[in-house]
């Protein structure tokens, strides 16, 4: 063998080199290939402003595992990557960068600002992509897209025009969420509700013409009083029936407002009288529409009070609140102030409290498209893993409001709407019209607003494949197979992709949505900048390697559940990598010294060889089943246990005597088995730990180009050695028992002792005769004697009881008889409990009538086993006593 594995495993040296090899070989690139079945994943596009965090690392690792698995299974596997222009986040970054240079966005104008934004994108936009490569992401970088590239922009324009022409997009004055800091509207999905400590201010509104009579209202936002246009009571509320229709003097203003009756008011809440501010509350807006109330906006875009605010004009909203509360108190109209914890909407980008405001904006009508998105889940075309997220999806769609899609930003897709300067006609088109269809004039200006970022990323599964053009990629790779995303993004993105895809392509954009949880810190807290508990994946990679990070993120991972990050777990993942590396080096050193046949007549294998092949065969089948069901955490645990325990701790130890003995005629079989099973195990591990498996696999067999394009292991009938597996498991059980006895008695491994195996059954004795060789290496045996009874065994021998046999070890000089009696008494107690449990189950009529036959048979088998073991323990105790 020409190539050797380095003495110690150092991920730093090999990860970048291997990633470059994969890139140069074009292994990540998927082509339209009708001879193969396609398998497609679209990468949730990280923000172009983004920096890799643990959530990304988990998300991308899961996608990479699936894509590598499917690639090895022989699919044409496309992992479509790209980045999102992240309108608000990017605009803020660019504005701040310009500020540092003393440049004001508004002074340089839109065109100049956009030049700076594109330059910023070119300089910093690729950062997160390079970080994903460090993680080992095998995405098709040749197909990398950006939500504002030419193709995606064309798709966005096409969808806007189509929806407008269909009547699904309209411009209207409605209540929207306004961020006073970012100075833009934001959608409901971008508002985070957090509980804040505030107050209920109880205020008296005087009844006009009735001296000394008041209506008491309670509000959490006294400053919005300036925009009140009514006070509402419930029509069923007897307390206020005589007030309906009367006028109230609105404090701090010269206006009068009516008392109206509306079922929206909850009689039990507060005073039962509610101030109605249609321009600053979504519910009040609806009440206002029903009663034809005036809509008075009292705020400027920066949340200062506007000119309608009289003496409070120009004050910040909270400054005005203080001043107004003081004035109400001076007028004797402030009844009381009650502490009140309530939910406040904040902008998820900057944390500012949002203001509901009436503004003319562009909206998408949601009712019809939401229905289609509900039906596709109910029809089974779309499936969530785990299924419990169906509820979240349906709840959101069933309560959806029209979607506000315009943003008061410059960075983004500009709305393709043009207004005639002469008659005000609106024309929605791909480019500025030459002539107004209404008045025939030719002066137009384009709408200043851009589209919500989510409008473009909603088209991602098909816009990235060339839609609206009828490309061969679109035909072959769409719909995609699985979307992998966190549960915190179902509303924002998943739902929008589903209804957009159904509307534009007639198909759901993916068959499965695999939902993962959040990566929390070791105390279970969400990682955040404010807590300073975030862990940089690149730091973990630098310290322990990408493979160790990936394995850590997947160990114990269950769909939809949060996980905790512990540095100790990364260390144990790195220890596992070391174990695999060292075992591989040991195997290769032995392969170097001998001729290993390319193929092997299976009849020449020993029971141990057949046992490990059978074990590998079963694990390959189980792991494939788990991965097909997206149980990635369960799958990797099985691979881990197989490699560490069965292969390294048992099989390699079992075959050492054969490897060290050149006269052993089964040495070639041992080497062939070692090489075969190691190669197969590396393939199963590859999707999870791509780098280390690639390095070992190509060193193990220099003829192999890459493990990435090797075929995935499949279950083989000819490796189904069930009898040999049973025999070796019996020997393992005996070895474990001997080890247990020795450990309990603190016998050092160097101390060899004779092992007697007593079994009545001839086939059991034969198994032990064949397996004698293992006891020397695995159980510190000087010799092994297999017999039918206890003749010739010293009275003071220590015993270990296993099903179908008893093991005796005569180390009289080491044994404390009292201690041995205690140990056997403990075993007797354990067996008594087991027998009581089994007998209890088998005498329970409900269990017998309801349990499957297989379960009943299993319990009967246990009864037989425990009874036999109990007899042997009692017999042994009687001897010692």
**Residues 606-622: b if buried by 16+ CB within 10 A, e if exposed:** bbbbbbbbbbbbbbbeb
Question: Nearest Cα to 426, choosing from 408, 401, 405, 449?
Answer: 449
**Residues 146-181: b if buried by 16+ CB within 10 A, e if exposed:** bbbeebbbbbbbbbbbebbeeebbebeebbbbbbbe
Residue 804: which residues within 8 A CB-CB, separation 6 or more? 730, 759, 761, 764, 868
Decide if 365 is inside a domain: no
Decide if 360 is inside a domain: no
For residues 438 and 488, membership in a common domain is answered with no
Longest dimension (CA), the chain: 118
* Binding-site residue set for ATP: 529
Q: Specify the pLDDT at position 49.
A: 84
Find the CATH number of the domain harbouring 603. Answer: 1.10.730.10
For residues 577 and 716, membership in a common domain is answered with yes
| 79 token code pair | 């992992």
Residue 848: which residues within 8 A CB-CB, separation 6 or more? 842, 856
Residues in the chain: 881
| 596 token code pair | 């290993």
| 8-12: average pLDDT | 94
Domain boundary at 328, 343, 358, which?
343
Handedness of CA 482, 484, 486, 492 (dihedral sign): negative
Decide if 166 is inside a domain: no
Domain extent, residue 333, equals 193-343
- Residue 725 and residue 651: Cα distance in Å, rounded? 12
Contact indicator for 719, 577 with CB cutoff of 8 Å: no
Q: Specify the pLDDT at position 813.
A: 46
Top-confidence range, 122-126, 331-335, 556-560, 640-644 = 640-644
pLDDT at position 198 over 90: no
Decide if 355 is inside a domain: no
**Residues 197-230: b if buried by 16+ CB within 10 A, e if exposed:** eebbbbbbbbbeeeeeebbbbbbebbbbbbbbbb
- Residue 523 and residue 127: Cα distance in Å, rounded? 30
Q: Specify the pLDDT at position 65.
A: 98
Find the CATH number of the domain harbouring 518. Answer: 3.40.50.620
Q: Specify the pLDDT at position 598.
A: 87
pLDDT at position 422 over 60: yes
| 769 token code pair | 């005769």
Decide if 868 is inside a domain: yes
Contact indicator for 756, 785 with CB cutoff of 8 Å: yes
- Residue 66 and residue 76: Cα distance in Å, rounded? 13
Rg (CA), the chain: 37
Alpha helix ranges (H) inside 545-666: 546-554, 567-592, 607-628, 632-641, 653-659
Tens digits of per-residue pLDDT, 393-414?
Answer: 999 999 898 999 999 999 999 9
| 402-431: average pLDDT | 95
Pairing mode, strands 76-80 and 38-42: parallel
Beta bridge partners of 458: none
Contact indicator for 310, 303 with CB cutoff of 8 Å: no
Tens digits of per-residue pLDDT, 291-333?
Answer: 999 999 999 989 999 999 899 999 999 999 999 999 999 999 9
Classify 593 as helix, strand or coil.
Answer: coil
Q: State the DSSP string of 512-534.
A: EEEEE-PEE-TTSPBP-TTTT--
Q: Work out the pLDDT band at 812, boundaries 50, 70, 90.
A: low
Q: Work out the pLDDT band at 2, boundaries 50, 70, 90.
A: very low
For residues 19 and 150, membership in a common domain is answered with yes
Q: Specify the pLDDT at position 783.
A: 86
For residues 538 and 577, membership in a common domain is answered with no
- Residue 439 and residue 424: Cα distance in Å, rounded? 9
Contact indicator for 244, 250 with CB cutoff of 8 Å: no
Tens digits of per-residue pLDDT, 729-780?
Answer: 999 998 898 888 888 766 777 888 888 999 999 999 999 888 888 887 888 8
Average pLDDT, the chain: 92
Tens digits of per-residue pLDDT, 664-720?
Answer: 999 999 999 999 999 999 999 999 999 999 999 999 999 999 999 999 999 999 999
Decide if 16 is inside a domain: yes
Tens digits of per-residue pLDDT, 101-116?
Answer: 999 988 999 999 999 9
Q: Between residues 49 and 624, which one has the greater pLDDT?
A: 624
Pairing mode, strands 247-249 and 76-80: unpaired
Q: Specify the pLDDT at position 388.
A: 94
Q: Specify the pLDDT at position 597.
A: 86
For residues 463 and 582, membership in a common domain is answered with no
Decide if 763 is inside a domain: yes
For residues 28 and 132, membership in a common domain is answered with yes
Q: Work out the pLDDT band at 544, boundaries 50, 70, 90.
A: very high
| 255-265: average pLDDT | 95
Burial class (CB in 10 A: 0-12, 13-18, 19+), 433: middle
Q: Specify the pLDDT at position 622.
A: 98
For residues 439 and 463, membership in a common domain is answered with no
For residues 714 and 575, membership in a common domain is answered with yes
pLDDT at position 591 over 60: yes
* Binding-site residue set: 529
Q: Lowest-pLDDT range, 88-97, 461-470, 528-537, 758-767?
A: 528-537
Domain boundary at 696, 720, 744, which?
720
The percentage of the chain sitting over the pLDDT mark of 70, rounded to a whole number, equals 99
Q: Lowest-pLDDT range, 341-355, 411-425, 467-481?
A: 341-355
User: pTM of the prediction?
Assistant: 0.84
- Counted domains in the chain: 5
Contact indicator for 479, 448 with CB cutoff of 8 Å: no
Q: Specify the pLDDT at position 866.
A: 93
Tens digits of per-residue pLDDT, 384-395?
Answer: 999 999 999 999
For residues 119 and 38, membership in a common domain is answered with yes
Find the CATH number of the domain harbouring 260. Answer: 3.90.740.10
Decide if 518 is inside a domain: yes
Alpha helix ranges (H) inside 771-852: 772-779, 817-842, 845-850
Residue with tokens 């609106």: 426
Q: Work out the pLDDT band at 528, boundaries 50, 70, 90.
A: confident
Tens digits of per-residue pLDDT, 790-805?
Answer: 888 887 788 888 888 9
For residues 205 and 327, membership in a common domain is answered with yes
- Residue 37 and residue 678: Cα distance in Å, rounded? 29
Burial class (CB in 10 A: 0-12, 13-18, 19+), 282: middle
Domain boundary at 675, 702, 720, which?
720
For residues 757 and 681, membership in a common domain is answered with no
Q: Which strands form 798-802's sheet, in the order they lie side by side?
A: 781-787, 753-758, 805-809, 798-802
Beta bridge partners of 689: none
For residues 202 and 316, membership in a common domain is answered with yes
- Write the CA distances from 1 to 40, 202, 585, 707, integer angstroms: 38, 87, 12, 18
The DSSP code for 44 is: P
Whether the link from the prior residue into 468 is cis, omega within 30° of 0, is yes
- Write the CA distances from 208 to 92, 217, 333, integer angstroms: 49, 16, 15
């Amino acid at each position: 063998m020409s190539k050797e594995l380095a003495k110690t495993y150092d991920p730093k040296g090999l990860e970048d080199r291997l990633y470059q090899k994969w890139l140069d070989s074009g292994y990540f690139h998927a082509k339209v290939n009708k001879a193969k079945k396609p398998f497609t994943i679209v990468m949730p596009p990280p923000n172009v402003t983004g920096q890799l965090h643990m959530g990304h690392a988990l998300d991308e690792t899961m996608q990479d595992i699936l894509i590598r698995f499917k690639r090895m299974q022989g699919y044409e596997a496309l992992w479509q990557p790209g980045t999102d222009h992240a309108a608000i986040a990017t605009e803020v970054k660019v504005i701040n960068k310009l500020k540092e240079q003393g440049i004001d966005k508004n002074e340089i104008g839109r065109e100049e600002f956009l030049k700076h934004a594109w330059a910023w994108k070119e300089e910093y936009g690729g950062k997160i992509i390079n970080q994903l490569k460090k993680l080992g992401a095998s995405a098709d970088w040749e197909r990398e897209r950006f939500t504002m590239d030419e193709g995606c922009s064309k798709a966005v324009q096409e969808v806007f025009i189509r929806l407008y022409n269909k009547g699904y997009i309209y411009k209207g004055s409605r209540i929207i969420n306004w961020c006073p800091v970012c100075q833009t509207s934001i959608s409901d999905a971008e508002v985070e509700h957090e509980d804040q400590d505030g107050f209920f201010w109880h205020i008296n509104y005087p009844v006009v013409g009735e001296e000394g009579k008041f209506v008491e209202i309670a509000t959490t936002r006294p400053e919005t009083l300036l925009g009140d246009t009514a006070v509402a009571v419930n029509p069923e509320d007897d307390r206020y029936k005589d007030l309906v229709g009367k006028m109230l003097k609105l404090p701090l203003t010269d206006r009068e407002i009516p008392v109206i009756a509306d079922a929206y008011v909850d009689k039990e809440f507060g005073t039962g009288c509610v101030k109605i501010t249609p321009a600053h509350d979504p519910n009040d807006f609806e009440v206002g529409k029903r009663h034809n109330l005036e809509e008075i906006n009292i705020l400027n875009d920066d949340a200062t009070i506007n000119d309608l605010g009289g003496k409070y004009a120009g004050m910040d909203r909270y400054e005005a609140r203080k001043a107004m509360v003081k004035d109400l108190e001076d007028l004797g109209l402030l009844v009381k102030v009650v502490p009140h914890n309530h939910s406040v909407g904040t902008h998820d980008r900057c944390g500012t409290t949002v203001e509901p405001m009436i503004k003319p904006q562009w909206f998408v009508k949601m009712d019809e498209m939401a229905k289609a998105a509900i039906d596709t889940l109910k029809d089974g075309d779309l499936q969530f893993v785990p299924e419990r997220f169906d509820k979240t999806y349906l709840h959101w769609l069933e309560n959806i409001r029209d979607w506000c899609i315009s943003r008061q930003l410059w960075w983004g897709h500009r709305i393709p709407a043009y207004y005639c300067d002469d008659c005000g006609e609106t024309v929605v088109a791909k480019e500025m019209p030459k002539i107004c269809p209404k008045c025939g004039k030719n002066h137009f200006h384009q709408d200043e607003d851009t589209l919500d970022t989510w409008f473009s990323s909603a088209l991602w599964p098909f816009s990235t494949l060339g839609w609206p053009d009828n490309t061969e990629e679109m035909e072959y790779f769409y719909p995609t197979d699985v979307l992998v995303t966190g549960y915190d993004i179902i509303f924002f993105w998943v739902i929008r992709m589903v209804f957009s895809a159904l509307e534009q392509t007639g198909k759901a954009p993916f068959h499965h949505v695999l939902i993962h949880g959040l990566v929390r810190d070791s105390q279970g807290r969400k990682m955040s900048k404010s807590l300073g508990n975030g862990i940089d994946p690149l730091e973990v990679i630098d310290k322990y390697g990408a493979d160790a990070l990936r394995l850590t993120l997947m160990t114990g991972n269950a769909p939809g559940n949060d996980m905790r990050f512990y540095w100790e777990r990364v260390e144990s993942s790195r220890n596992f990598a070391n174990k695999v590396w060292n075992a591989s080096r040991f195997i290769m050193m032995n392969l170097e010294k001998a001729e290993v046949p390319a193929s092997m007549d299976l009849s020449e294998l020993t029971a141990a060889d057949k046992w490990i092949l059978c074990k590998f065969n079963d694990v390959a089948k189980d792991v494939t089943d788990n991965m097909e069901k997206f149980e990635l955490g369960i799958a990797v645990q099985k691979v881990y246990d197989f490699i560490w325990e069965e292969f390294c701790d048992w099989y390699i130890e079992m075959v050492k005597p054969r490897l060290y003995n050149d006269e052993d005629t089964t040495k070639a079989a041992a080497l062939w088995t070692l090489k075969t099973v190691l190669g197969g195990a590396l393939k199963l591990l590859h999707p999870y730990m791509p780098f280390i498996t690639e390095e070992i696999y190509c060193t193990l067999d220099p003829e192999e180009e890459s493990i990435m394009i090797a075929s995935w292991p499949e279950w083989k009938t000819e490796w189904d050695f069930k009898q040999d597996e049973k025999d070796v498991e019996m020997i393992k059980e005996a070895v474990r028992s001997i080890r247990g006895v020795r450990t309990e008695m603190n016998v050092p491994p160097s101390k060899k002792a004779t092992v007697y195996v007593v079994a009545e059954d001839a086939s059991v004795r034969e198994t032990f005769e064949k397996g004698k060789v293992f006891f020397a290496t695995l159980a510190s045996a000087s010799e092994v004697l297999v017999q039918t009874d206890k003749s010739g065994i010293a009275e003071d021998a220590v015993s270990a009881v296993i099903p179908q046999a008893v093991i005796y070890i005569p180390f009289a000089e080491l044994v404390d008889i009292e201690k041995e009696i205690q140990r056997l008494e403990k075993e007797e107690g354990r067996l008594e409990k087991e027998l009581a449990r089994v007998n209890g189950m088998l005498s329970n009529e409900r269990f017998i009538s309801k349990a499957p036959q297989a379960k009943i048979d299993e319990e009967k088998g246990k009864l037989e086993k425990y009874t036999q073991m109990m007899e042997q323990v009692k017999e042994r105790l009687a001897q010692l006593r």
